Amino acid sequence: MTSLIGKKAPSFKAAAVVNGGEIVNDFSLDQYVGKKYVIFFFYPKDFTFVCPTELHAFQEKLAEFEKRGCAIVGCSTDTEQSHWGWLQMDKKFGGIKGITYPIVADTNKTISINYGCLNGDYSIDENDNFVASSEMIAYRALYLIDKKGNVRHLLINDLPLGRNVDEALRMLDALQFNEENGEVCPANWSKGKEGMKADHSGVADYLAKH
């Protein structure tokens, strides 16, 4: 699949649970275009082990993202009813009670297909039966979307590998630094450090002399 970097984030309308318990049927990222940055992340399954650690980690840093004008939105291939039930379960029992950002239900898997992060392949066998190579669930994918609705950063981890929420925040800082200052961010850059000017004059001078 062609990378989504620099392209419009695929649009969708789907059911989602917002504010920790309210189900809405036509949730869309389009509501943020022109208003907010978005961290849109996928996780494999509700009621699992690594997934709640990631969802709680995003909640713990939610104020930092919001301070930067960025919305956090989660998504998995579970139903909105499954999301709702998990949201009612206390953290000490493996639940995600206390999560307030939206969680989208990609029940028909079209969102994760369009974002290029659905695990497994499927086909039709000689008896016209639908055959899947593995569980059709989303990888641990993350997309940083700018205010214009374009994907500027993406990361896709295999199912056992949890993400670093601080890295997502760092990438948001880097994008905003570039937009505000016109400078690029070198390796291991973090908020408060100097950027670099994308000046190719030195290279041009060298080539002219050689």
Tokens describing residue 22: 């309210």
At residue 80, the 3 state secondary structure works out as: helix
Question: How far is Cα of residue 46 from the mean position of the Cα atoms in its chain?
Answer: 16
Output the DSSP codes for 8-23: BPPP--EEEEETTTEE
Query: Catalytic residue among 51, 70, 75, 185, which?
Result: 51
DSSP 135-202: ---B-EEEEEE-TTSBEEEEEEE-TT----HHHHHHHHHHHHHHHHH--B--TT--TTS--B----HH
Tell me the C-alpha distance between 60 and 80, whole Å: 23
User: Would you give the DSSP letter of residue 92?
Assistant: G
Strands 22-27 and 14-18 come out as antiparallel
51 is an active site residue: yes
Cβ–Cβ < 8 Å for 56, 72: no
The residues annotated with a catalytic role in the active site are 51
